[in-house]
Amino acid sequence: MRFLLNTCRAYSTSFSVVPRYRITQLGRVGQIENARQVFDELPNKTVDSWNSIIAGYFQNNQPDEALLLFKKMPEKNIVSWNGLISGYIKNGMVSEAREVFDKMPERNVVSWTAMIRGYVQEGMTGEAVSLFWLMPEKNVVSWTVMLGGLIQEGRIDEARRLYDMMPEKDVVARTNMMAAYCKEGRLSDAREIFDEMPWRNVVAWTTMITGYVQNNRVDVARKLFEVMPVKNEVSWTAMLMGYTQCGRIEAALELFEAMPMKSVVTGNALILGFGQNGEVAKARRVFDQMMVKDDATWSAVIKVYERKGFELKALDLFILMQKEGIRPKFPSLITILSVCASLASLDHGRQVHAQLVRSRFDEAVYVSSVLLTMYIKCGDLPKAKLVFDKFSSKDIVMWNSMISGYAQHGLGEEALKIFQSMFSTGMVPDDVTFVGVLTACNYTGKVKEGLDIFESMKSKYMVEPKTEHYACMVDLLGRAGKINEAVNIIEKMPMEADAAVWGSLLGACRTHAKLDLAEVAAKKLLVIEPENAGPYILLSNIYASQGKWNDVAELRKNMRARSVKKSPGSSWIEVEKRVHVFTTGDIRAHPEHSMIMKMLEKLDVLLREAGYNPDGNFVLHDVDEEEKLYSLRYHSEKLAVAYGLLKVPKEIPIRVMKNLRVCGDCHTAIKLIAKVTEREIILRDANRFHHFKDGICSCRDYW
């Protein structure tokens, strides 16, 4: 009979639990209206069902509705009151929770602990401590919650005193105390607790290993890791991250290959580790081997490619990511914006901008700065100005980007206007601001304005000039033919002149045929940058122009001995969201080379009819005449422009980028190409932008 009665009770209890369980589940997944419907349809509502629906409203951030139901409860138990306290605490309403706590008809250890936990979560550790010592009885959870509150606030010594007072220490309390010591770098104290633990779970082991890792004791961490009785994914990840953080990537890879379960997190860490060490191919190999990838995985490889100068591969991977249905998140979008800026990939940049707008990320000042830079580097100044004008609370980075942008595009007047506007808003200029402003004066030949601004840096704006500001001034005076004044600037510098300063003087001396001084500047550059081919070539040309062929031979010998090679000129153009790269003299590498050849031949005819003779514009003293003409015709920027004429619609500007400064011959040729084809051509070289239209360049041949 007793057996039958127990069975009946079990059945009855099970039957009553089902609706309550259903209410709880619906509340957890956000379907609070459906949960309410189940509750309302219950013929007999138990205290537990009331507690479940009230908890559901709290979980769905509807504390007012929860309170209304609480007040309607025909019968309440201590669980009901504790649920009200916990619900308020989950919604950050600690004052309301305390009101309930104070008027409860009775309290148990759960009530006290919930209230203390609420104070701890809100950072009100003083109130938590006061309440804790008023508790009539405490259990291990109460002690552990209070311990966590003191640790959270950094009161480690107080936490240790509380820890020593605990009548019972569970693994959670011991692990928390150990983690606090590790964070403070007190590894011996942490290890003492670890060694005293009567029983250690995988979390305790991992905490101690992580402590060693975070304090650069990777070898000690590895010894502990090896004797761990049970390892989980977090343990393996902690150990691997230790190796990546200290740059021991090969050890990290060895551990990764030994892992029984290769987590996405460890794969991502390994990719970034190889990337930081410059081992891009190995980073990609790890990526390709990963069976499961998340957005962070794709973002990691894209970031590695972008940081190491493989922008095209970064862009290709971003395109592949989208084809595979992976929706890029904020880090990926920001990285690819930088790639678009480097490649001047305007189409992809616009696409990313649209994604940022849809996600409402574009409202952040940092994002606006990156967008601004992207549009400037893509040569779309009107769009850059729209982004700039739209953002009301501009920071110094945005102002500097806009000033530098106008300067690079040869719009000195506009750059100076932005500078004045910036000053009128109360924004204080910094050293970067003055680099942009002086560059604007430099690129537009505003010598007097540049001198005045340079003099005012320290006296008016309290900004100490740096080497880059002196380099701007040397360039400004040198371009204007004021070579002696430029030399005086260098002699008065309070610091050693760097490569930028001597390079500016060298360029000016070469332009104005001050060959003796040019030789001095070139030799200075050879000392500062012995691996840079530029000074060797310029000095070689200077010697050759003076008939000093023995000096030319000696210089070339030194170049070969030091394995100094000139960087090959390369240019690229984006057509239909694909970037096409051209290298000087290597036209056959492009699949449509025959069409490009025909366009070049057509341009040759048009240019000669316009009176253009390349033979007189191109001088290189170490190749024969046939090589001169071949190299001249197939300069990378000309190949890219020719391809743009074939592929870019006439109403759209042709945008070409080059890794080096455009040569004088190509500059002259592209001016004429723009005129005879009636096209607008925008060329971004290593120094600045050139807007070619109607046979005129925005730089006014001053570059």
pLDDT digits (tens, 9 = 90+) for 473-503: 999 999 889 999 999 999 999 999 999 999 8
Tokens 């957890």 appear where?
28
Q: Which of 73, 95, 75, 71 is nearest to 85 (CA)?
A: 95
User: What is the distance between the alpha carbons of residues 119 and 496, in angstroms, rounded to a whole number?
Assistant: 59
More confident residue, 487 or 686: 487
What average pLDDT does range 662-690 have in this prediction?
Answer: 89
Q: How confident is the model at residue 613 (pLDDT cuts 50, 70, 90)?
A: low
pLDDT digits (tens, 9 = 90+) for 67-120: 999 999 998 899 989 999 999 999 999 999 999 999 998 999 999 999 999 999
* Measured distance CA(601)–CA(583) in Å, rounded: 18
Mean pLDDT for the stretch of residues 311-325: 88
Per-domain residue ranges for the chain? 394-465, 589-697
Query: Highest-confidence range of 31-40, 183-192, 277-286, by mean pLDDT?
Result: 183-192
Query: Residues 414-464: pLDDT tens digits?
Result: 999 999 999 888 899 999 999 999 999 988 888 999 999 999 998 988 999
Give the contacts of 376 (CB within 8 A, at least 6 positions apart): 341, 384, 401, 402, 404, 405, 408, 409
By DSSP bridging, strand 570-575 and strand 654-658 are: antiparallel
Mean pLDDT value of segment 6-13: 37
Q: How far is CA 227 from CA 171, 205, 220, 254, 259, in A?
A: 19, 10, 11, 18, 15
DSSP 295-339: HHHHHHHHHHHHHTT-HHHHHHHHHHHHHTT----HHHHHHHHHH
Q: What is the pLDDT of residue 112?
A: 93
Q: Which residues of 235-245 are buried (b: 16+ CB within 10 A; e: fewer)?
A: bbbbbbbbbbb
* Residue type at position 220: V
Predicted confidence at residue 612, as pLDDT, reads: 67
Phi, psi of 330, rounded to the nearest 5 degrees: -55, -50
Q: Return left, alpha or beta for 647; rule: phi > 0 is left, psi -120 to 50 is alpha, else beta.
A: alpha
pLDDT at 622: 42
For residues 545 and 656, the model is more confident at 656
State the burial class of residue 428 (Cβ atoms within 10 Å of its Cβ: 0-12, 13-18, 19+): exposed
Report the pLDDT value the prediction gives residue 541, as an integer from 0 to 100: 77
Residue 177 has pLDDT above 90, yes or no: yes
pLDDT in tens, 340-375: 888 888 888 888 888 888 877 777 788 888 899 999
Q: Report whether pLDDT(633) > 80.
A: no
At 215, the pLDDT band (50, 70, 90 cuts) reads very high
Cα separation of 355 and 366, whole Å?
16
Q: Does residue 635 have a pLDDT over 90?
A: no
| Residues 483-521 as b or e (16 or more Cβ within 10 Å = b) | bebbbebbeebeeebbbbbbbbbbbbbbebebeebbbbb
pLDDT average, residue stretch 33-50:
88
What average pLDDT does the segment 677-703 reach?
A: 86
pTM over 0.85: no
More confident residue, 470 or 568: 470
Q: Sort strands 689-693 and 681-684 into parallel, antiparallel or unpaired.
A: antiparallel
Which tens digits make up the pLDDT trace of 241-299?
Answer: 888 888 888 888 888 888 887 788 888 888 988 888 888 999 998 899 888 888 889 99
Of 244, 227, 245, 225, the closest CA to residue 235 belongs to 225
